[in-house]
Every structure is written in C-alpha cells, then in structure tokens.
Chain A
Amino acid sequence: MVNVTASENHIEVRELRLSYGVKEVIHGISFDIRRNEILGVIGPAQSGKTSLLRCLNRTIDFTPDTHVSGTITVDGEDVRRVRNVYALRRKIGMVAPLPVGLPLSIYDNVAFAPRSAGLNRKGELDLMVEQCLRQAALWDEVKDRLDSLGTKLSGGQQQRLTIARALSHQPEILCLDEFSIAIDPVTTMRIEDVLKELRRHMTIILVTNLTQQARRLADRTMFLWKGEIVELDTTNVIFSDKPRDSRTRDYVEGIFG
C-alpha cells in the first residue's frame, strides 16, 4: 500500500538526468510537487519541459536511445520501477500542445481510456463521458452530436476534447503541455477556469510558454532553462521585482537573451 500523509509531496524528483543519445537535455534536477497544487513550469524551447513530463508518465520509453537516471516518485513509488506502466499513465492525465482528436467519434474519444482499462458497461461509460465533457466545458457544445467525429471539431473544441480524454481515466495528476498554443484567447480563458475548478481534487503541472498564464494560475512556478532549474518558488516571488535569480526576472519580463 501507498503510505501517503496528506498534503505531503505528491511527486518527488531527485537528480533526474535525461539524455537522447549522447546529448544530455536534463542535467540532474530535483524538486517536489505538492498535492493539489498547480505548478507552473516556464522556460524557453529546448529547456526540457516536455521531456520532463514524458519521464513522469514513462512515455519516454517509446523514444529509442534515451537514458534516464535519478528517481521520480509518485505517491512514494518510483515510476521507473513501476511494472504496470499502463496504470501509471492512467494516474497521470496528459494534454499535448497540439490538440489531438483521435479519428473516432466524440463519445469514443472520451470512452477510449476507460475501455482500455476494461470498463465496458454502457451506463457507466455514458455517465463517465458526460462528466468528463462537462468538466472540460465541452458538453453543451457537443451533447447532440456525440457520434460525430472528434477530428471534425474546431481546434479549441478538440483541445477541450483532449482534456476530457485526459480526465476520462480519473487521473490524480494532470499535466498540460502548452495547451493554449493552438487555441484562441477566449477558449484559453474558459479552460483556465476549468483548471481552477479541477485543482480542488488534482495536482496540476502546467507547462506554458505564456508566462502570464503561469502567473494567473500557478501556486508555485519553476523556471527551467537548458535542462536546469533556475528558480522554483511561489508564483508571487517569481513574478515579483526581485526573484532570487536575475535571469528569472529577465525572462518573465521578456528581456531575456
């Protein structure tokens, strides 16, 4: 059994190193993520943000020639020793930068994960699909056409569909990787409202290129640069006049480089 004392760290990362071939992209980072917090992760491209998420749910395994060292624990369990990676991945919802509606109906898009996990009863699935689509603020727009294709939705709707799918396996952790990159500001704000709602029973990792988004949502923010943590502190401090590292201020004020 997992021995979790409430409000302890949900995720602990220790000395995590990751290399693709001979090129090391994450250079031994350590940090904690607390239960039910929103952790903002900011940093320019190539700083290892997406790689970090892929280490967390072990989809890094699908990339050939990668080497990971150090430990990541979720609820005290080392993810790299987890044998049932599918259960691990179901525990972690993942939303990719570009919306991916699977070429299935809207209903099947959301029901895909529960079905993969072995849930097949129609009634339960119906309930689950509705609940997830509601949580993702998409239900009202699609409730009359659940049979139409997920790929036919607009970009913003597909991204909310992606979020509904990520919620469909009832994760405890939700990772959003630059989710607003392909959608308009109004939809972005709607999803941000959804996230504020979800944080009450979920830990959220919000990787974003929009520093203001981290400022709006995150409890704490981590500035990742070239595979190292420049600074990790409460969002107030990161976005204040004097964070500990001057690079942080330069980055969030847009005078970096």
Chain B
Amino acid sequence: MNSAAGHVLFVETPAVRRKLRQEALAKWVFCAMAAAMVVPLLLIVGYLVVRAAPSLNLEFLLEVPKRGMTEGGIWPALIGTIYLVFISLAVSAPIGILAAIYLNEYARDNWFNRVINLAVINLAGVPSIVHALFGLGAFVYAAKFGYSIISASLTLAIMTLPVIIASTREALASVPQSFREACWNVGATRWQTIKSVVLPNSISGILTGVILQVSRAAGETAPVMFTGVVFFKSIERGDLFPYYLNEQCMALSMHLYTISTQVPGVKESIPYATAVVLLALVVMVNAAAISLRVYLRSRQKW
C-alpha cells in the first residue's frame, strides 16, 4: 500500500509539468544572456588580435613612432601611460583609503558627514570630460603646473578618488561589527581596533578597489588630453625615465585616438596593435587584482 501511495505522490500532474517547463525555460534564457555577454568580448579581442598581428612584437613596444607616426612603435605612449597611472594612484589611493577609514570608522552620522557622502557620490558620477575641464582650470592654470604630467595625473587622481573611497568603505563595512565591539570592550582605542582587526581583514577588498582604478586611469582619454598629454613627444627608444614631471607626455589612449583619426597613411596594423596593448595592459592589471584578492582572501581569517 505504501508503495502505491508513494507512486501516486510522484505522478506528474499538468501543474507540475508546467512548472518544470517554466524552470527549464528560465534557466536557458538566463544562460543565453550570460553567454551573449561573452560573445562580443571574444569577437572584439579576436578581431583586434588578427588585424594587429603583423605589428605585434617586442620591437613594437620598445620602438618610438617613426615617419610622422606612420611607422615604428609605441614606447613613448606606453611609458607615459604608466607614469600617469602610477602618479595618479600614488596620490588618490592614500587619500581615498584614509578618507574612507575616517568616514566608515570614526565619523558620526551628522550633517557634515552627510555632505561628504553626498560629495563622494556625486563626484563619482561626474563625466570624465568635466573632470578634464576642472583639471585644466585648477591644475594647469590656477596652480600653474602647466600642461604637464603632474596636472594630468592629478586630474586622473580626482577622477579615481571617489570610486576608491566608495570601494574602500565597502571593504571596511564587510568586517563584522562584533569584531570592533569585542575590541572596544577590552579597552582598545578605535585606532588599535582598526590597525589590528579591521584593516588586516579588509585589505584584500581595499586593494582590489584601488587596482581596478588602474584600468580606468589607463583607459581615459578626455581628462589627460586637456591637461598634459600631447600628440607626439620625441624620446629615446626604450628609455625608462624619459619624462620630467613638469613636461608633457604621450599616453596610449590618446595615441590610439591620434593615429586612428588624425594622421594619414598610418600602417594599417599599428592602431590595432596599440589597442591590443592597451587592452592587454588593462587585462593584466585586472588579473593581478583578482589573483591578489584570491591570495589575500585565503589568508583572511574568518
């Protein structure tokens, strides 16, 4: 009798069949959308690499542009981008992280801190071209840094700052409040608590947030073209320290724009190769961020 009753229990009624059909449909729709995201990426990367193939070699990275930028390599732009990214993050990461620690760990909920919060959110939403104009006015003219690496880097720093603050706060907030209370209960100050418990357990999230801004700083064209990046700058091939901070420099994003639209007769594979290098730079940085995150997360302790 029992087995008969069990048999009845598992019979597929029309309602059950409809439910299963919907389940299968839902799963395939979601899966298809997820796959649809991968397709364009593969197409873009594949197309770029194929078109760039004739120029992709080490020589292309280290060589300077030749014959009115129609031939040669991209070294001045590559090293310029590295300069800009490093200096801008050297400015925005410490300020952003320390500000986020204040906002998340010390600040009380009063009007002053609400104003700061509002400013951070709005600054993150400002279009990059507006940052560019601000940088032009503030650093190039008002601060008299001129069109220079320092102006362009500071503009990028302003642009990345709010995102670093937001991601750092997120990372800090993910540390359970009970850890802080346990520390306070034994007479630790806020700083002792932050130093020994909060930071060690949020550092992976904080660094990930910072590193992701590298790709943003490397890719943006608008903020740097008004403040310190030029069409062409003559430097030595493979020179690691070609620029002074008060000089103008080249950058990959700007260089790509220039050789694609402004210079006639560029060898066809060069713009594609430049794009591949820019993309590879960003992918490499992101991969580094992910592996760093995995490594630090594995050492995280709860």
Contact = CB atoms under 8 A, between A and B. Distances in A.
Ordered nearest first, which 7 A-B pairs have the shortest CB separation? Answer: A103-B301, A113-B186, A90-B187, A89-B187, A94-B185, A86-B187, A116-B188
Given A87-B187, A113-B186, A169-B186, 7 more contacts: A89-B187, A100-B179, A102-B179, A104-B196, A113-B187, A117-B187, A166-B185
B111 to A, nearest CB: 13
A89 B185 contact: yes
A112 B178 contact: no
A77 to B, nearest CB: 16
Contacts of B192: 116
Interface range for B: 20 to 34
B57 interface: no
Interface in A73-104: 86-90, 93-94, 96, 98, 100-104
Interface string B177-218: 011011111111100100011001100000000000000000
A62 B179 CA distance: 14
Nearest to A116: B188
Given A116-B192, A149-B301, A103 B185 contact: no
A180 interface: no
B10 interface: no
A160 interface: no
A62 B184 contact: yes
Contacts of A149: 301-302
A116 B186 contact: yes
Interface of A: 57, 59, 62, 64-65, 86-90, 93-94, 96, 98, 100-104, 112-113, 116-117, 149, 151, 162, 165-166, 168-169
Contacts of A165: 182, 186
A82 B178 CA distance: 24
Nearest to B176: A100
A125 to B, nearest CB: 14
Contacts of B181: 59, 62, 96, 100
Contact of B184 (A89, A98, A151): A89
Contact of B182 (A88, A100, A169): A100
A59 B196 contact: no
B19 interface: no
A151 B302 contact: yes
Nearest to A103: B301
Nearest to A98: B178
A99 to B, nearest CB: 9
Interface in B51-88: none
B12 interface: no
B182 to A, nearest CB: 4
A112 B196 contact: yes
B155 to A, nearest CB: 37
Contacts of B188: 86, 112-113, 116
A112 B108 CA distance: 26
A95 to B, nearest CB: 9
A57 B185 contact: yes
Residue from B109, B178, B200 whose CB has the most chain A CB atoms within 10 Å: B178
B234 interface: no
A104 B181 CA distance: 15
A62 B105 CA distance: 10
Contacts of A98: 178
Interface in B118-146: none
21 contacts: A59-B185, A62-B184, A65-B109, A87-B187, A89-B186, A89-B187, A96-B178, A98-B178, A100-B181, A102-B182, A103-B179, A103-B301, A112-B186, A112-B188, A113-B187, A116-B186, A116-B192, A151-B301, A162-B182, A165-B186, A168-B186
